[in-house]
Amino acid sequence: MSRGTALSGARVLITGGTRGIGRLVAAGAVERGAEVTVWARNPELGAQVAEELGVTFIAVDVSDAAAVAEAARETGPIDVLVNNAGVIAGKPFVQLTEEEIRRTYEINALAPYWTTRAFLPGMIERNRGLVVSLASAAGLIGTTRMTDYSGTKHALVGFTEALRAELRAQRSAVRTLVVCPFYISTGMFDGVQTRVPWLLPILKPEDVATKTLDAIERGAAKLVLPWSVNLMPVMRVLPVPLFDAVIDLLGVNHTMDRFKGH
């Protein structure tokens, strides 16, 4: 395992850091001694978070590459980038509008490219830094009502893996971390359910935030929550009909039946 990143004294940037997991990670990073900057679109909520947590807030639409580049110049060099901003429509494929599909891909898949492109060159030059991507268990397995969301999270998992390979080939000390949690009990996933909570529990946001910060400090390259989600990719060795039968038995394709979201 590679050497971790001490958060004490580190400069940390978190996208989508005004609510949910992003806000909890920001609060936890501050408690561990980090200097935290939060990016989000809502200036009123951002000002509130800045006052309550003692972080710097910059209003920016991370789907806008030019706006990201400008905000990056204002932010300055950082040690840890946390690509956390995300959206979900939670609709069957045929009900998704073109606007919803584009928005999901712009925020979940493309925005991490723009933010990483803005900060990675400086990290490489200094030969230190960490790019964290908040993906999802949906980036390891596709489920119903998630054709857009799951597609973007698969993209984020692949992006992080390829970036890790590039940095390793360059013998760079800059690292990556991808986080793949099952559903989290935040407003974003209001209404989701699980058939087998002993195996696939709905996660508490505080636990996910804490474990993400722990993974940053210990130098992990991948964090999957809960442990059982690691079995999903392994099961792909099964014939497709058998794989599908196991997933159906676990009730995975009914987890979004009562989805409400924000």
Query: Per the structure block, which two tokens stand in for 240?
Result: 């497709």
How far from the centroid of its chain's Cα atoms is residue 245's Cα? 29
Query: What are the strands, taking DSSP E only, across the chain?
Result: 11-15, 35-40, 56-59, 80-83, 130-134, 175-181, 222-225
Choose, from 105, 113, 149, 183, the residue flagged as catalytic: 149
Distance separating alpha carbons of residues 171 and 41, to the nearest angstrom: 36
Residue 113 is among the residues annotated as catalytic for this protein: no
Q: Identify any residues that bridge with 225 across adjacent strands, giving them in sequence order.
A: 181
Cα distances (Å, whole numbers) of residue 4 to 23, 29, 37, 227, 252: 22, 14, 20, 21, 34
180 with 157: CB under 8 angstroms?
yes
User: Annotated catalytic sites, by residue?
Assistant: 149
